[in-house]
A and B are shown apart, each in its own frame.
Chain A
Amino acid sequence: MDPLILSRIQFAANISFHILFPTITIALGWVLLFFKLRFNRSGEEKWMDAYRFWVKVFALSFALGVVSGIVMSFQFGTNWPGFMEVVGNVAGPLLAYEILTAFFLEAAFLGIMLFGFRRVPGWLHTTATALVAIGTTLSAFWILVLNSWMHTPAGYELRDGIVHATDWFAIVFNPSMPYRLVHMLLASGLTVAFLIAGFSALRWLWGDRGAEVRATLRFGAWMGALLIPLQILAGDMHGLNTLEHQPAKVAAMEGNWETQSNVPLVLFALPDEAARENRFEIAVPGMASFILTHDFAGEVPGLNDFVAEDGTRLHPPVAPVFFAFRLMVGIGMAMLALSWSALWLMRKKRGGVEGLPKPWIYAFVGMAFSGWVATLAGWYVTEIGRQPWLVSGVLTTADALGPISGGMVASTLAAYLAVYAFLLAAYLGTLTYMARRAARHDGTSPQIPKPDAGVRVLQPAE
Chain B
Amino acid sequence: MMELFGDPATWLPFAFAALMGAAILTYVILDGFDLGVGLLFPFATPAERDRMVASIGPFWDANETWLVLAIGILLVAFPVAHGVILTALYLPVAVLLVGLIARGVAFEFRVKAPTRHRGAWNRAFYGGSLAASLAQGFMLGLYVTGLQLGWANIAFAALTAVCLTVGFSFIGAVWLIGKTEGDLQLKAIHWARRGIWGMIAGIGAVSAATPLVSGRIWDRWFSFPEVVLLSPLPVISVLLVVLLWRILQRMPFENDRWAWAPFSISTVLFVMAFGGLAYSFYPYVVPEQITIYEAAAAPESLIIILVGALFVLPIIIGYSILAYTVFRGKATELSYY
Contacts and interface: CB of A to CB of B under 8 A. Distances in A.
Given A60-B112, A165-B300, A116 B64 contact: no
B67 interface: yes
B228 to A, nearest CB: 40
A97 B94 CA distance: 25
Nearest to B103: A67
A411 B47 CA distance: 38
B320 A77 contact: no
B50 A402 contact: no
A286 B269 CA distance: 74
Given A84-B82, A89-B297, A402-B83, A115 B335 contact: yes
B37 to A, nearest CB: 13
B86 to A, nearest CB: 3
Max chain A C-beta neighbours (<10 A), residue from B51, B72, B91, B113: B72
B222 interface: no
Contacts of A359: none
Nearest to A423: B105
A96 interface: yes
Contact of A430 (B76, B104, B112, B334): B112
Contact of A100 (B89, B113, B301, B309): B309
Which secondary structure dominates where chain B touches chain A?
A: helix
Given A108-B319, A461-B50, A165 B301 contact: yes
Contacts of B197: none
Max chain A C-beta neighbours (<10 A), residue from B83, B309, B319: B83
Contacts of B53: 461
Interface stretch (B144-152, B239-247, B321-329): B321-329
Contact of B97 (A71, A88, A92, A105): A71
Interface stretch (B3-11, B54-62, B158-166, B212-220): B54-62
Interface string A92-135: 11011101110111011111101111111000000000000000
Contacts of B333: 449, 456-459, 461
What range describes how many residues of B lie at the interface?
Answer: 35 or more
Nearest to B335: A459
A282 interface: no
Nearest to B121: A426
A77 B65 contact: no
Nearest to B318: A108
Interface in B35-70: 47, 50-51, 53-54, 57-59, 61-62, 64-65, 67-69
Nearest to A85: B79
B68 A412 contact: no
B157 interface: no
12 contacts: A77-B74, A89-B298, A101-B308, A108-B316, A164-B301, A408-B90, A415-B98, A423-B101, A458-B47, A461-B50, A461-B334, A462-B336
Interface of B: 47, 50-51, 53-54, 57-59, 61-62, 64-65, 67-69, 71-77, 79-80, 82-87, 89-91, 93-94, 97-98, 100-102, 104-105, 107-114, 297-298, 300-301, 304-305, 308-309, 312-313, 316, 319-320, 322-323, 326-327, 332-337
Interface of A: 48, 52, 55-56, 59-60, 62-64, 66-71, 73-74, 76-78, 81-82, 84-85, 88-93, 95-97, 99-101, 103-105, 107-112, 114-120, 162, 164-165, 168, 402-404, 408, 411-412, 415-416, 419, 423, 426, 429-430, 433-434, 446, 448-449, 456-462
**3 shortest A-B CB distances, which residue pairs?**
A81-B83, A92-B76, A77-B86
